[in-house]
Amino acid sequence: MDTKGWIYPGVPFDSSRVGGLSFVDMGSIPLPVLVDNYTVPYAIGATAATALVLTANRCYFLPFLVTTPRTITYAAIQVTTLKAGTGYIGLYDITTTRKPYNRIWMSSDLNMGSTGEKSDTPNIVLPPSMYWLALVSSSAATVRAMAIQSGRHLAITLSGTTHTIGYYYSNASLPTDASEVSFTALTATAPAIGVKWSE
């Protein structure tokens, strides 16, 4: 395992490193990829950066693992084609079934009406566990994205579909409690929500 708390290729997956949660043993998990100097923690082994036209008022949820305590210092998206509106990045912990639960952080307003990096500073310490990054936008702006279907997934069964890469549902804002949300499986390209961290 590397010093940033992710698992190197070839290192056996050890569920005890993520709070004892039981996950499908994949043998090894490649490191997440970088987009514009931010790590996209759910883009496990993905190789293709692309773009995604967001659906306005759709909340996207993407899961990732933290294997050692980390402080998330930055969270960001990259708008490539503007569309006037406001976006928000969120961070969620999990239910006992590993779905998004409590919103533990949400960004300030992100201006989707101009291109470039849109970021905020969570400065939240995350103990080892599974978490969800989330994104919502009031407009159909285009953002950097990951063709995650070209990479490896977390091998977590979501919505009854193995290797689903995340969830989405229609709502104008990120809920404070997502445990009662009726999700749809996200099985294609996902927005690239990048993070930076400190030890």
Report which residue type is found at 1: M
Report if residue 21 sits inside a domain: yes
Report if residue 5 sits inside a domain: no
Neighbours of 92 (CB within 10 A): 26
CB of 133 closer than 8 Å to CB of 41:
yes
Report if residue 41 sits inside a domain: yes
Domain count along the chain: 1
The tens place of each residue's pLDDT in the chain, 199 residues long, gives 333 443 333 333 344 444 444 433 333 344 565 556 788 888 766 666 789 999 999 999 998 888 889 999 999 999 999 999 999 999 999 988 888 999 999 999 999 999 999 999 999 999 999 899 999 999 999 999 887 665 555 545 554 555 567 889 999 999 999 999 998 888 778 899 999 988 6
Report if residue 191 sits inside a domain: yes
Neighbours of 138 (CB within 10 A): 18
Report if residue 116 sits inside a domain: yes
Of 92, 83, 114, which Cα lies nearest the Cα of 193? Answer: 92
Output the CA–CA distances (angstroms, integers) from residue 186 to 22, 71, 125, 148, 163, in the order listed: 22, 27, 27, 11, 10
Report if residue 2 sits inside a domain: no
- Phi and psi torsions of 149, nearest 5°: -65, -15
Residue 90 sits in a domain whose CATH number is 2.60.120
Report if residue 138 sits inside a domain: yes
Encoded tokens for 86: 């406001």
* pLDDT tens-place string over residues 83-125: 999 999 999 999 888 889 999 999 999 999 999 999 999 999 9
Report if residue 136 sits inside a domain: yes
Of 113, 129, 45, which Cα lies nearest the Cα of 79? Answer: 113
- Containing structural domain, residue 96: 15-198
- What is the spatial distance between Cα 22 and Cα 8, in angstroms, rounded to a whole number? 19
